[in-house]
Amino acid sequence: MSKNCFIPQCREGYKSHIKKNKLNGVKQKTLFKAPKDTFLLEKWAESIPRSDRKLRPGIDNVCEKHFDESQIERYFETKMPDGSVHLIERERILLKKNAIPSIFPDLPQYMTTKKQIRKTTAERNVYYFNNNILNTIDTISETYNNLKDTLKNMALPNEWFFSCAHSSLVLGYLDCNYEVVKKIIISSSDLNLKIFIKTKLINIAETHVTCIEDLNKILKTVDDFKMCTGTGIDNCPKSKQCNEYVENELSLNQVQRCVECAKERKYNMDIQRVHKQKRNKKTTTKPVIKNVL
Which of 74, 151, 258, 264 forms a contact with Zn ion (CB under 5 A)?
Answer: 258
Q: Are 47 and 75 in contact (CB under 8 A)?
A: no
Nearer to Zn ion (CB atom), residue 154 or residue 233: 233
Alpha-carbon distances of 128 from 66, 108, 114, 119, 135, rounded to whole Å: 22, 21, 15, 11, 10
CB of 209 to Zn ion, least distance (A): 28
Order the strands of the 200-202 sheet from edge to edge: 160-165, 168-174, 180-187, 193-197, 200-202
90 in Cβ contact with 76 (< 8 Å): yes
Binding residues for Zn ion restricted to 234-253, rule: CB under 5 A: 242
| Residue range at the interface with Zn ion (CB under 5 A); choices 95-103, 112-120, 169-177, 256-264 | 256-264
**Helix H or strand E encompassing 45:** helix 38-47
Is position 12 an interface residue for Zn ion (rule: CB under 5 A)?
A: yes
Kindly identify the residues of this chain, within the stretch 180-199, that bind Zn ion according to CB under 5 A: none
Binding region for Zn ion (CB under 5 A) out of 15-23, 124-132, 221-229, 268-276: 221-229
Nearer to Zn ion, 22 or 200 (CB): 200
Using rule CB under 5 A, residue 218 touches Zn ion: no
DSSP-derived letter for residue 178 is S
State which residue, 12 or 60, has the beta carbon closest to Zn ion: 12
CA 50/CA 259 separation, integer angstroms? 62
Of 49-68, binders to Zn ion (CB under 5 A) are 63, 65
One of 171, 195, 222, 261 touching Zn ion (CB under 5 A): 261
Q: How far apart are CA 272 and CA 99, in angstroms?
A: 62
Quick one: 104 or 144, whose CB is closer to Zn ion?
104
Least Å from the CB of residue 186 to Zn ion:
26
Give the total of residues touching Zn ion (CB under 5 A).
Answer: 10
> Is residue 228 a contact residue for Zn ion (CB under 5 A)?
yes
Site for Zn ion in 128-147 (CB under 5 A): none
Please state, in angstroms and rounded to a whole number, the distance separating the CA atoms of residues 271 and 245.
26
Beta bridge partners of 3: none
Contact flag: residue 34 with Zn ion (CB under 5 A): no
Q: Is 7 in the site for Zn ion (CB under 5 A)?
A: yes
Question: How far apart, in Å, are the Cα atoms of 85 and each of 88, 170, 172, 184, 198?
Answer: 10, 11, 11, 13, 11
Cα angle 68-72-73, degrees, rounded to a multiple of 5:
155
Name which position in 5, 34, 41, 181 contacts Zn ion (CB under 5 A): 5
Q: Which residues bind Zn ion (CB under 5 A)?
A: 5, 7, 10, 12, 63, 65, 228, 242, 258, 261
